[in-house]
Amino acid sequence: MDLISEPFEYAFFHKALIAGVLVGALCGCLGVFVVLRRMSYIGQGLSQSVLAGVAPAAIAGIDPYLGAVAATIAAGLLIHYVGRQHGVRPDAAIGIVSTTMFAAGVALISANRSRSVNLTDLLFGNILGVTYGDITLVGTVAAVMALLGFAFYKTLTFTVVDAAGAAAHGVRAAAIELAFTVALAAVVVVSIRIVGVLLIAAVIVIPASTARLVGRSFGSVITMSAGLGIAAAVVGLFVSFHVEIASGPAIVLTSSGAFALVLLTTTVASALLVRRTRQMHSSNSRANLTATSAGTLAK
Contacts of 206 (CB under 8 A, 6+ apart): 31, 232, 252, 255, 256, 258, 259
Listed residue (144, 134, 142) closest to 19, CA to CA: 134
Q: What angle do CA 12, 18, 22 make, to 5 degrees?
A: 145
Position 236 in a domain: yes
Separation between Cα atoms, residue 206 and residue 104, nearest integer Å: 29
Separation between Cα atoms, residue 88 and residue 70, nearest integer Å: 24
Give me the mean pLDDT over the 262-290 stretch.
77
Position 254 in a domain: yes
Position 296 in a domain: no
pLDDT digits (tens, 9 = 90+) for 116-160: 566 677 777 778 788 888 888 888 988 988 888 888 888 877 777
Residue 290: the pLDDT is 59
Separation between Cα atoms, residue 206 and residue 209, nearest integer Å: 5
Domain count for the chain: 1
CA 50 to chain centre: 17
SS3 of 246-284: the string is: CHHHHHHHHHHHHHHHHHHHHHHHHHHHHHHHHHHHHHH
Separation between Cα atoms, residue 210 and residue 264, nearest integer Å: 11
Q: What angle do CA 27, 32, 36 make, to 5 degrees?
A: 140
Enter the DSSP assignment of 198: T
Enter the DSSP assignment of 99: H
* 38 or 30, higher pLDDT: 30
Residue 259: the pLDDT is 95
CA 245 to chain centre: 22
What pTM value is reported for the model? 0.81
% of the chain surpassing 90 pLDDT: 17
Whether 47 contacts 159, CB under 8 Å:
no
pLDDT digits (tens, 9 = 90+) for 169-222: 777 777 777 788 788 888 888 887 778 777 888 888 999 999 999 988 888 999
What stretches of the chain adopt beta strand conformation (E)? none
Position 187 in a domain: yes
Position 297 in a domain: no
Position 298 in a domain: no
Is 38 strand, coil or helix?
coil
CATH number at residue 207: 1.10.3470.10
Position 224 in a domain: yes
Q: Residue 95 belongs to what domain range?
A: 2-291
199-203, 266-270, 289-293: least confident range = 289-293
Whether 186 contacts 141, CB under 8 Å:
yes
CA 221 to chain centre: 13
